[in-house]
A and B are shown apart, each in its own frame.
Chain A
Amino acid sequence: MITLTIEDRNGHREPVEIPEDINLSLMEVLKAADHHILATCGGMALCATCHVQVLEGPEQYFHPSDVELDLLDTLPDAGPDSRLACQLRIKEDMNGMVFRIRGEE
């Protein structure tokens, strides 16, 4: 089991448990766990409504991919630790990571 901690917009933290072999993105996991994210474009890296901030985790997860950067760079509130949850595939080495939800409600 992979356990992530999700901090909502009010600073409230909650763990999410995900089976190791699941082939989902963080955005899909957040939606399935009833976290309030719009994910309007359904994972196409178009809308940034699944914007999250990486608070804790392995170094490589702090760096957005090029496709994410193209969009994140247009956001007024993105930081160097910003990611699009739809572009983050759940992997075992993500166990213990902490994310903060940032995208518009």
Chain B
Amino acid sequence: MALITTDICIIGSGPVGLFAVFEAGLLKMRCHLIDVLSQVGGQLSEIYPQKPIYDIPGFPRINAQQLVDGLMEQIAPFKPTFSLGERVEQLRQLDDSSFLIQTNNSTEVRCKAVVIAGGLGCFEPRKPAIHRLEDFEGKGVAYMIKNPETYRNAKVVLSGGGDSALDWTIFLADISSEVTLVHRGDTFRGSPDSAEKVFSLAKQGRINLVLQSHITGIQGNGHLQKVIVVGRDNEESHIEADHFIPLYGLTPKLGPIADWGLNINHSAIEVNTFDYSTNVPGIFAIGDINTYPGKLKLILCGFHEAALMAQSAFKYVYPEQKLSFKYTTVYGVSAF
């Protein structure tokens, strides 16, 4: 287990999280960043690295990855540290008002202020709207396959039409006693090779392929026993199942942050626009993850929010000191 002590822990290393390091650094506050992705840059690096952005002041056009690279260069003097590929799980306030943050990788970060710059949030499996689905989680229902051995010699029903549904159907065909793939369409948009393999396995009778159908219910007594399927003719049928694995891609959610006692409005964190503080003293939220009247989800707005946040975070890091505002043009950037 690693214990990191810093002034500010920033959750999310997208452009706004990165720029927060700069604003904090100007006020002599050190930062540690945690991101569930294995690289910095958030959406910009992960989703659209080569897309041009046109509304960054001073840059008529800049590619997303160039902006991230520029931010990394800009914050380098302040020597930020990173825990990448880790997801924040718990936040606890200690007796001295400092915070202790824990990740899923058992990294612990002790800090005086927390800045949530989580953008869209964490991508989590999308759950279908099936009555009592959550009652069977861990009792036959799973949204991802962690240990394939769980499914050896078992009756498994998968649903979905993407690559992961196809790939796992092919894999489980070899180890499970019965594999059924239920898909709402009659074609697959996943890899053509995988789709062809699935059709071929169905032809050989090694899997059951149920097309143009939906799973509408699940039944069991303590553990999953069967799923209910409605087909194109609206006829209902049952499939016996030890396991049901809905594979409907990922959707952004707040994740564990939603359980920290913060005021949440439509999956966004409510903040005071004076300093982008949340209702919990010492915790701030900046960038796409916050909400307030007039909120615009723009990188440049996130930069502004980072600047104001740092002014207020200062009082948590240096409660005895008086903050004096300084221009970089006058004082430059003093590296740590």
List the interface of chain A (C-beta within 8 A of B). 36, 38, 40-42, 44, 46-49, 69-71, 73-79, 104
Judging by beta carbons under 8 Å apart, are A74 and B126 in contact?
Answer: yes
Task: Answer yes or no: B184 CB below 8 A from chain A CBs.
Answer: yes
Judging by beta carbons under 8 Å apart, are B126 and A40 in contact?
Answer: no
Smallest CB-CB A-B distances: 5 pairs: A74-B249, A76-B128, A73-B189, A42-B297, A74-B162
Judging by beta carbons under 8 Å apart, are B267 and A77 in contact?
Answer: no
Judging by beta carbons under 8 Å apart, are A40 and B252 in contact?
Answer: yes
Given contacts A40-B252, A41-B252, A48-B251, contact A77 B288 (CB under 8 A): no
Judging by beta carbons under 8 Å apart, are B126 and A75 in contact?
Answer: yes
Give chain A residues whose Cβ lies under 8 Å from the Cβ of B215: 76
Task: Answer yes or no: B140 CB below 8 A from chain A CBs.
Answer: no
Chain B binding surface, main DSSP class: loop
Q: Mark B296-332, 1 if CB is under 8 A from A, else 0.
A: 0100000000000000000000000000000000000
Task: Answer yes or no: B91 CB below 8 A from chain A CBs.
Answer: no
Task: Answer yes or no: B25 CB below 8 A from chain A CBs.
Answer: no
CB-based nearest B residue for A43: B297
A37 to chain B, nearest CB (A): 9
CB-based nearest A residue for B289: A40
Judging by beta carbons under 8 Å apart, are A41 and B120 in contact?
Answer: yes
Give chain A residues whose Cβ lies under 8 Å from the Cβ of B121: 40
Give chain B residues whose Cβ lies under 8 Å from the Cβ of A46: 47, 120, 252
Given contacts A40-B120, A41-B120, A46-B120, contact A73 B162 (CB under 8 A): yes
Judging by beta carbons under 8 Å apart, are A49 and B251 in contact?
Answer: yes
Give chain A residues whose Cβ lies under 8 Å from the Cβ of B161: 73-74
Give chain B residues whose Cβ lies under 8 Å from the Cβ of A42: 288, 297
> Quick one: which of A36, A41, A76 contacts B214, CB cutoff 8 A?
A76
CB-based nearest B residue for A36: B266
Give chain A residues whose Cβ lies under 8 Å from the Cβ of B251: 40, 47-49, 104
Given contacts A42-B288, A42-B297, A47-B120, contact A77 B128 (CB under 8 A): yes
Given contacts A47-B120, A48-B251, contact A77 B160 (CB under 8 A): no
Judging by beta carbons under 8 Å apart, are B184 and A78 in contact?
Answer: yes
A50 to chain B, nearest CB (A): 12
B256 to chain A, nearest CB (A): 17
Q: Mark B128-142, 1 if CB is under 8 A from A, else 0.
A: 110000000000000
Give chain B residues whose Cβ lies under 8 Å from the Cβ of A70: 189
Give chain A residues whose Cβ lies under 8 Å from the Cβ of B297: 42
CB-based nearest A residue for B214: A76
Task: Answer yes or no: B248 CB below 8 A from chain A CBs.
Answer: yes
Give chain B residues whose Cβ lies under 8 Å from the Cβ of A48: 126, 251
Task: Answer yes or no: B208 CB below 8 A from chain A CBs.
Answer: no
Judging by beta carbons under 8 Å apart, are A44 and B47 in contact?
Answer: yes
Interface centre among A44, A75, A79, A104 (most CB of B within 10 A): A75
